[in-house]
């Protein structure tokens, strides 16, 4: 009987220690929603200067800029004016250029001479104001391109004065 009691206590001890080692798992924390990771920048944040320059356009000139990750409401705005031959020269229909804004995928297709769309485009303009809401950036920075083109067949160089920035 003593052997039975010792065996019974050993079995009870094993069951108790096994139960003590098998603590219930803590419930898994839900993964945060990716869209909730977009946070507005401080109201005191400075705008991102994208382009503030005067430059020549013989055929095409491109400028890239990158929006930081977690930009909730990026808004691109700016103006450009094109001149014939030199800065502050004639700014009329003879100074017209084409202007497009593209994302990285669109620009890659454009650079490889494949048909592509753009986020924004203006044809035959020598003076233009631009206001464009850009998509929020979620977890990664996003690159955009401002492209200024001299229309095909135009033999005269253009000079463009441009000022663009992004507000958040």
Residue 104, in any domain of the structure:
yes
Torsion angle of C-alpha atoms 147, 151, 155, 161, degrees rounded to 10: -40
Residue 35, in any domain of the structure:
no
Residue 155, in any domain of the structure:
yes
pLDDT per residue of the chain (168 residues) written in tens, 0 to 9? 545 555 445 555 455 555 555 555 555 555 555 444 444 544 446 799 999 999 999 999 999 999 999 999 999 999 999 999 899 889 999 999 999 999 999 999 999 988 889 999 999 999 999 999 999 998 999 999 999 999 987 888 999 999 999 999
Using alpha carbons only, how large is the chain's radius of gyration in Å?
A: 31
Query: What's the domain count of the chain?
Result: 1
Is the CB of residue 36 less than 8 Å from the CB of residue 99? Answer: no
Residue 107, in any domain of the structure:
yes
Is the CB of residue 83 less than 8 Å from the CB of residue 91? Answer: yes
Residue 40, in any domain of the structure:
no
Q: Report pLDDT for 155.
A: 83
Whose tokens are 């108790």? That residue is: 16
Our separate counts of H helices and E strands in the chain read 2, 8
Strand partners, 11: none
Q: Report pLDDT for 17.
A: 55
Q: Report pLDDT for 34.
A: 47
Q: Report pLDDT for 140.
A: 94
Residue 22, in any domain of the structure:
no
What stretches of 22-112 show up as alpha helix (H) in DSSP? 104-111
Residue 10, in any domain of the structure:
no
What stretches of the chain show up as alpha helix (H) in DSSP? 2-21, 104-111
Q: What is the pTM of this model?
A: 0.73
Residue 12, in any domain of the structure:
no
CATH of the domain at 95: 2.60.120.680
- Residues spanned by the domain of 134: 49-167
């Amino acid at each position: 009987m003593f052997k039975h009691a010792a065996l019974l206590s050993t079995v009870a001890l094993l069951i108790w220690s096994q139960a003590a080692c098998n603590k219930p798992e803590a419930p898994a924390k839900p993964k945060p929603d990716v869209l909730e990771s977009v946070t507005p920048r401080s109201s005191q944040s400075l705008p991102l200067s994208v382009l503030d320059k005067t430059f020549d356009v013989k055929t095409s000139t491109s400028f890239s800029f990158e929006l930081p990750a977690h930009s909730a409401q990026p808004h691109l705005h700016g103006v450009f004016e094109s001149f014939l031959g030199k800065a502050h020269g004639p700014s009329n229909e003879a100074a017209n250029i084409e202007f497009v804004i593209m994302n990285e995928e669109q620009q890659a297709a454009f650079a490889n001479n494949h048909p592509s769309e753009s986020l924004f485009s203006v044809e035959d303009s020598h003076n233009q104001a631009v206001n464009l809401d850009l998509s929020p950036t979620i977890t990664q920075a996003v690159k955009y391109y401002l492209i200024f083109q001299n229309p095909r067949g135009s033999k005269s160089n253009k000079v463009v004065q441009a000022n663009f920035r992004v507000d958040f």
